Chains A and B, each alone.
Chain A
């Protein structure tokens, strides 16, 4: 509770300015972000973000768990796209182990990661529009997100904290009816995107509110470490899925939307186009899904099937050993970066040769993107701060960790 009083506040420097506290309970800060705004009338002179309200020491917790026990923790970093975080972590550990993943598991991962990107962007679009005063878009977006959450529930048993990707493959084979559900969703989703665009893109209130607001140049974006749609909206053509492919992304054809404008509108346009491209990738993954196993053949790392445990002695022994002792990972360090809906998500995992990681560090895109917020807002109006926060699409869970 001492946090508020102990955090140094901005001194109201010059004669005319005053300090305004925004958050951490402000609804448009998308979580518990606190901003200290030094304002001159309606104009923001200086902005200082104050974070840490959700800090749970998750990186420290990881060091006390077996490698496979870290997977559920990664769900909780960025709760809008848990599978993307699972993916990044399991790819890092698989790289440490030097493990090959069967193609079917890779394509399933790509498909689900793209579905997660859609549901994450839907939450962004709904809440961003809500911040700007367009109530109804929120309901439309959450209608489709609900369909997606049902798909995740179908495949993993959970709507949000899925933990579906495991080291060496997937937790389970997808159930009957799963592919039909995905196919049905992807079949109608383009029209749904058109529907959002009908509500917003031509709406002159929306356009006026977004165009030319919170501008960020390409140089500034790179200097501040901005990644993801916010970077692409500033004109930098960079997408880790295409440029440093992982998990078989090199097999998929998609466009990377960019824009030169670097304002809130450009970020909106880029993300809407990403929704369409994600649908394309998911469709390609669904149509071309290879047959085969969904788990790597590594009995010392991957938990055996239930059926095998009932009939084979070795399977039972390996199951017991993995659950009670974990598995040792050869010493070394890796940095695995993937393109999350918000930008470059990176996991730095250090192993000392034991069954528990020596260090797990998450490079979260929101954390770096937040640094650019002051640059976007200083000298602009207070009302535009809300637009700027919405446009960088931060998740406080992964900022505070």
Chain B
């Protein structure tokens, strides 16, 4: 299978159930969308990500929280891209919600109130990327010791040697 170009036109993608539901709920919530390598990514505004998750969950458009992670595009700004991987057992497909965060204001609302499963994943991102999740019940380091300095998965943190 040769790679097909990514579709980024909202008009072409608006029939996808998750995107359609978000657009019907609050058109402002969706910044852009991308269909690449048979995976749908939806960029959601930072302020609305928890409400968007709640909306998708209550309307049974997704049933399962699979994964939450982040990629650091340093030195580009805004540098962080959070990726929420949500699964629908019924439609048998994943959807990816994305939130873009800037380096000096890496704060986003926690989704643990919607999916308790996000608890450990958000703690991991707090630990390794230094992203803060508002409303998280126990936002502490999870992998590293409490007195560790810095956030190792940021790109400006060296791979080897002393800091």
Give me the interface of A with B, judged by CB distance under 8 Å.
2-3, 6-8, 51-52, 55, 57, 59-61, 63-64, 95-100, 222-225, 236, 238, 243-244, 330, 332-335, 337, 344, 346, 348, 350, 352, 358-359, 361, 363, 367-368, 370-371, 400-401
Are the C-beta atoms of A223 and B85 separated by less than 8 Å? Answer: no
Are the C-beta atoms of A8 and B146 separated by less than 8 Å? Answer: yes
Which one, B12-20, B46-54, B112-120, is touching chain A? B112-120
Contact of B94 among A6, A8, A238, A337 (CB under 8 A): A337
Q: CA of A243 to CA of B36 in the docked complex: distance in angstroms?
A: 21
List 27 A-B residue pairs with CB atoms under 8 Å apart, sorted by A's residue number.
A2-B147, A3-B145, A7-B146, A59-B153, A60-B159, A64-B160, A98-B37, A243-B89, A243-B92, A333-B39, A333-B41, A333-B83, A335-B67, A335-B94, A337-B85, A337-B94, A344-B66, A346-B66, A359-B69, A363-B67, A363-B85, A367-B120, A368-B117, A368-B120, A371-B117, A371-B119, A401-B143
Chain A residues in 8 Å Cβ range of B157: 60
Least CB distance from A271 to B in Å reads 21
Give the residues from 117 to 143 in chain B that come closer than 8 angstroms, CB to CB, to chain A: 117-121, 128, 140-143
Contact of B85 among A346, A352, A401 (CB under 8 A): A346
Q: What per-residue 1/0 map shows which CB atoms of B54-71 lie under 8 Å from chain A?
A: 000000000111110101
Chain A: CB-nearest residue to B65 = A225
Are the C-beta atoms of A2 and B37 separated by less than 8 Å? Answer: no
From known contacts A55-B143, A98-B1, infer whether A348 and B153 are also in contact, taking CB-CB under 8 Å: no
Chain A: CB-nearest residue to B140 = A8
Are the C-beta atoms of B145 and A222 separated by less than 8 Å? Answer: no
Give me the interface of B with A, judged by CB distance under 8 Å.
1-3, 6, 36-37, 39, 41, 63-67, 69, 71-73, 83, 85, 87, 89, 92-94, 96, 115-121, 128, 140-147, 152-153, 157, 159-160
What secondary structure prevails in chain A residues at the interface with B?
mixed
Chain A residues in 8 Å Cβ range of B120: 367-368, 370-371
Are the C-beta atoms of B117 and A223 separated by less than 8 Å? Answer: yes
Are the C-beta atoms of A225 and B71 separated by less than 8 Å? Answer: no
Other than A52-B141, A96-B37, A348-B83, give 20 A-B pairs with Cβ distance below 8 A.
A55-B144, A57-B152, A59-B128, A61-B159, A100-B1, A223-B117, A224-B117, A225-B64, A225-B117, A225-B118, A243-B92, A333-B71, A333-B83, A337-B66, A337-B94, A346-B85, A348-B67, A348-B69, A363-B66, A368-B121
From known contacts A64-B159, A332-B6, infer whether A6 and B116 are also in contact, taking CB-CB under 8 Å: no
Are the C-beta atoms of A400 and B143 separated by less than 8 Å? Answer: yes
Are the C-beta atoms of A346 and B73 separated by less than 8 Å? Answer: no
Contact of A60 among B37, B67, B146, B153 (CB under 8 A): B153
From known contacts A244-B93, A335-B94, A348-B83, infer whether A51 and B143 are also in contact, taking CB-CB under 8 Å: yes
Chain A residues in 8 Å Cβ range of B71: 333, 350, 358-359, 361
In the complex, which of the residues A51, A225, A332, A363 has the most CB atoms of chain B within 10 Å of its own CB atom? A225
Chain B: CB-nearest residue to A99 = B1
Q: CA of A61 to CA of B152 in the docked complex: distance in angstroms?
A: 11
Are the C-beta atoms of A52 and B147 separated by less than 8 Å? Answer: no
Q: CA of A336 to CA of B36 in the docked complex: distance in angstroms?
A: 13
Chain B residues in 8 Å Cβ range of A367: 120
Are the C-beta atoms of B85 and A348 separated by less than 8 Å? Answer: yes
Q: CA of A54 to CA of B124 in the docked complex: distance in angstroms?
A: 14
Are the C-beta atoms of A335 and B115 separated by less than 8 Å? Answer: no
Q: CA of A335 to CA of B40 in the docked complex: distance in angstroms?
A: 10
Least CB distance from A8 to B in Å reads 7
Contact of B63 among A64, A100, A222, A243 (CB under 8 A): A222
Chain B: CB-nearest residue to A51 = B142
In the complex, which of the residues A337, A348, A371 has the most CB atoms of chain B within 10 Å of its own CB atom? A348
Q: CA of A401 to CA of B120 in the docked complex: distance in angstroms?
A: 14
In the complex, which of the residues B37, B67, B89 has the most CB atoms of chain A within 10 Å of its own CB atom? B67
Chain A residues in 8 Å Cβ range of B142: 51-52
Q: CA of A5 to CA of B106 in the docked complex: distance in angstroms?
A: 29
Chain A residues in 8 Å Cβ range of B115: 223, 225
Are the C-beta atoms of B117 and A334 separated by less than 8 Å? Answer: no
Chain B: CB-nearest residue to A50 = B142
Q: CA of A4 to CA of B51 in the docked complex: distance in angstroms?
A: 38
Are the C-beta atoms of A224 and B143 separated by less than 8 Å? Answer: no
Chain A residues in 8 Å Cβ range of B121: 368
Are the C-beta atoms of A358 and B116 separated by less than 8 Å? Answer: no
Are the C-beta atoms of B39 and A334 separated by less than 8 Å? Answer: yes
Chain A residues in 8 Å Cβ range of B69: 348, 359, 361, 363
Q: CA of A64 to CA of B115 in the docked complex: distance in angstroms?
A: 33
Q: CA of A401 to CA of B144 in the docked complex: distance in angstroms?
A: 11
Contact of A2 among B1, B66, B145 (CB under 8 A): B145
From known contacts A52-B144, A55-B144, A400-B143, infer whether A346 and B117 are also in contact, taking CB-CB under 8 Å: no
Chain B residues in 8 Å Cβ range of A61: 159
